Amino acid sequence: TALIPKHFSTKYSLMEKWKRMEMEINFKLWILIFKKSRDFFECMTFTAQRVKCKLYYSHLKTRKLHFRRRNIEGFFLTVSPEATLKVATQSSTHNKTFSLNLSAPFISQFYKEPLMKVMSYVDILFGNETEAASFAREQGFETEDIKEIARKAQALPKMNPKRQRIVVFTQGKDDTIMATENEIRAFPVLISDQSEIVDTNGAGDAFVGGFLSQLVYDRPLTECIRAGHYAASVIIKRSGCTFPEKPDFH
């Protein structure tokens, strides 16, 4: 499968940093789409991969990462928390933006220790409403109000004082919540007609991708949210995590 991202890197002239391991399965993920909602049957064969990810950690130590912004999925904490922490600390040291996606409720539950080691370096935290609720329970926030959860997550201790943390929680068809040092805002999503929804798989990742696509150009956070909503709205109108040949985001 490494040939697939390799192909797209060549096609779109992307700078790539691959560490290829022969004959290794990273994970298996089954997704059942039922009545336009999704259920996960996760059969992640990560146990055998933890040793292999030590290679990736050593790979990081021997390379300088020249990126203005770095994003890591919470899922990666299950296989190489050392590598995740390495990227996080490098980002803080060099004043680069480091973002993290909570990824799934079980990350906050079963990988709480590595998650919180990284959290103090997180400049932008992404998640959905169920991930936010799980994080709040594990942190003892004693609230189910998503705005309050976002506020408390934003106020958690942080290593780099030059960058105040931003927390962004999506809620499906409900407003997206963003907490900054100064305010908490709600942003309505683009799709109000639920009949337009075909498949929600990949919507969260699409949102983050859209958000970051504007952040790299130093656009305002409101534009980042707008781009995230646009990307997610495109994904959920199509079967599978697919997208049209050309975007119409302006």
Query: If pLDDT is split at 50, 70 and 90, which confidence band does 21 have?
Result: low
pLDDT digits (tens, 9 = 90+) for 30-45: 455 555 555 444 443 3
pLDDT of residue 239: 86
pLDDT of residue 75: 81
CA 66 – CA 105 distance, rounded (Å): 31
Catalytically annotated residue among 145, 205, 218, 248: 205
User: Which of 72 and 209 is assigned the larger pLDDT?
Assistant: 209
Instruction: Mark whether 193 is an active-site residue.
Output: no
Across 164-172, average pLDDT: 97
Q: Report yes or no: 125 and 151 within 8 Å, Cβ to Cβ.
A: no
Task: Find, among 63, 49, 55, 78, the residue nearest to 16 by Cα.
Answer: 63
Instruction: HSE, CB side, 13 Å, CA atoms: give it for residue 69.
Output: 16
pLDDT digits (tens, 9 = 90+) for 64-116: 554 555 567 778 888 888 988 998 999 999 999 999 999 999 999 999 999 99
